[in-house]
């Protein structure tokens, strides 16, 4: 077996933290809207584990904004690409725009990208 600390290890820690946080606030994993900044290796692994754990509404943003099926850089993307997988398996409402717009009203924010992507 292969275990990659930046991917699997980070995903496990995020799921554990989310599980505990949701227990504290009395919310179910399937009822929260998760917004994540970062669509790289760690972000994709986190997203796959959260989806397997029951997260139904996740939106991911990268340096180009919210990942969605109609985004120009994804229209012709290979079906095996990580961004294409994210576009096909998240963002059920087809949200577009920026991270700042996506995070409004979210229950959970997960940041696995560059620092200082959000401010007060």
For residue 89, give the CATH number of its domain. Answer: 3.40.50.720
Quick check: is 118 in a domain? no
As a whole number, mean pLDDT of residues 83-94 equals 92
Quick check: is 25 in a domain? yes
Question: pLDDT tens, 24-81?
Answer: 999 999 999 999 999 998 999 999 999 999 999 999 999 999 999 888 888 776 756 8
Quick check: is 119 in a domain? no
E-only strand ranges, 4-111: 33-37, 57-62, 65-66, 108-111
pLDDT, position 8: 85
- Parent domain of 43: 5-111
Quick check: is 120 in a domain? no
pLDDT, position 59: 98
Taking the whole predicted model, whether its pTM rises above 0.85 is answered as yes
The percent of residues in the chain predicted with pLDDT above 90, rounded, is 72
Mean pLDDT of the chain: 91
Q: Quote the number of domains for the chain.
A: 1
pLDDT, position 31: 97
Which pLDDT band, with edges at 50, 70 and 90, does 1 fall under?
low
């Amino acid at each position: 077996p292969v275990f990659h600390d930046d991917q699997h290890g980070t995903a496990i820690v995020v799921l554990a933290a989310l599980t505990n946080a949701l227990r504290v606030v009395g919310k179910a994993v399937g009822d929260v809207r998760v917004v994540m900044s970062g669509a790289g290796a760690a972000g994709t692994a986190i997203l796959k584990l959260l989806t397997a754990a029951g997260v139904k509404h996740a939106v991911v943003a990268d340096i180009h904004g919210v990942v969605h099926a109609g985004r120009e850089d994804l229209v012709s993307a290979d079906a095996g690409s990580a961004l294409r997988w994210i576009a096909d398996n998240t963002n059920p409402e087809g949200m577009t725009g920026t991270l700042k717009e996506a995070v409004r009203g979210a229950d959970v924010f997960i940041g696995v990208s560059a620092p200082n992507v959000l401010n007060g």
